[in-house]
Structure 1
């Protein structure tokens, strides 16, 4: 494999000789396991392989079930790059590119709920389930002033909490919640619109320096402009997510 990047910069990105990419399976829009092989697959996996190819090195996928663990692996330099939602709470020790994909965050409620609009969720006595450490957990922790946040383990835990009646509202990625609502059309209802836009970006340890951050940012912009990200979304049959505009 060939690379146009200077050898010194390649060494910054891949100090072990391979590019260690942190992959979060907690966001099924961007990554999951192939049904036939069980191997990680998805938009973020494709981008990791493409960037490793750009560097001229192999790739090692470090797979996590939750976003918080995936972020921490990069922050601790146990991985060289990662794929995260941009959030101020994650900025320490990390450098982010501009987003490559935009995803909506929405609310799911029982069909009989009196809630009709997103703005009605923040009221006394309401409990909102979120995946612990997720982008919407971080966002709603800042935004909700009256409702109580219940942090659980991932999207599965969010749905279990809602169906068991432990919470009145489930928060999460719109496409995931929409699928749950369609599968249970009688019992669940998605509130219209969104409460946030999740900006999915690539990131690396801040200690790798400004030149590496700029190179990763340029790669993301190229992947958006060339149609690579759009093709990856189509290839993996991702609906509802959109390619982020140029930075």
Structure 2
């Protein structure tokens, strides 16, 4: 069923802990939820939040009329079904390794026999799928599952977004995050490919908020609370 004229359905990817989270009361919160609230207010619409466990699930629903606006990493494969705005934040992709391992740089990742845990369909999964020629990707159900599975002893490393990986090291002695990054993941707002009018409205809003600094204030405030 399509959204009514004054309701906007926002897909919130809880698989990206930097941008979205579950609050103590069970409701979603974080950067993307704050942006969703601003978009709804600007368009004089009711905000409806639809949570997803992974980015891959959001993309799968893009052609099912399950949501109107989403927040995902820009990727060429996704652009086949989605229309992205300009980026509003860039996130670092790196890897979690055992503290005693010899890994010193992400440049050492791509070797025969190396198994890298990733969240299936995540932006860094898509990126590494294109870039790696020798290492093997072990695709798990989510980014958190990729980390948890590595902590249980499966795989040589876990790839993901820097902040959740560093959080894992703080909670699990014996692990460390490599100091460099294999890529910068640009996060943007997106709509279904055919919805060019909504895309134009959101892109214009985003440009205004980036120019006046109000969007950066939201990002800085939310990141300071993590």
Which ranges of structure 1 fall in alignment gaps of 5 or more residues?
1-12, 241-247
Partner Cα distance (2:225, 2:104) in 1: 24
Conserved 8 A contact 1:43-1:229: no
1:145 match: secondary structure: coil
Cα deviation 1:187-232 (Å, max 9, x = unaligned): 10111110010100000112122x3322211111122222222222
Partner of 1:174: 162
TM-score, with structure 2 as normaliser: 0.93
Q: Structure 1 residues 175 and 239, CA, compared in 2 at 3 Å: closer, same or farther?
A: farther
Cα RMSD of the aligned pairs, angstroms, is: 1.8
For the pair 1:226 / 2:215, whether they are aligned, the reply is no
Q: How does 1:1-247 map to 2 (within 5 A)?
A: 15-35=4-24, 37-185=25-173, 187-209=174-196, 211-238=197-224
Q: What's the CA shift for 1:16?
A: 4.7
In the alignment, the residues of structure 2 paired with residue 71 and residue 238 of structure 1 have an alpha-carbon distance, to the nearest angstrom, of 29
State the Cα deviation string for residues 120-162 of structure 1 (Å, max 9, x = none). Answer: 0100011000001100000001111100000002232112221
TM-score by length of 1: 0.86
Q: 1:20 to 1:238 in 2, by over 3 A?
A: same
Deviation at 1:15, TM superposition (A): 4.6
Q: Distance in 1 between matches of 2:166 and 2:47?
A: 33
Instruction: Give structure 2 stretches of 5+ with no counterpart.
Output: none
Count of aligned residue pairs for this structure pair: 225
**1:7 equivalent in structure 2:** none
Q: In 1, are the aligned partners of 2:122 and 2:143 still within 8 Å (CA)? A: no
Hey, which bits of structure 1, 4+ residues long, moved more than 6 A? none
Distance in 1, Cα, partners of 2:36 & 2:13: 12
Q: Give, in whole Å, the separation in 2 of the partners of 1:25 and 1:213.
A: 22
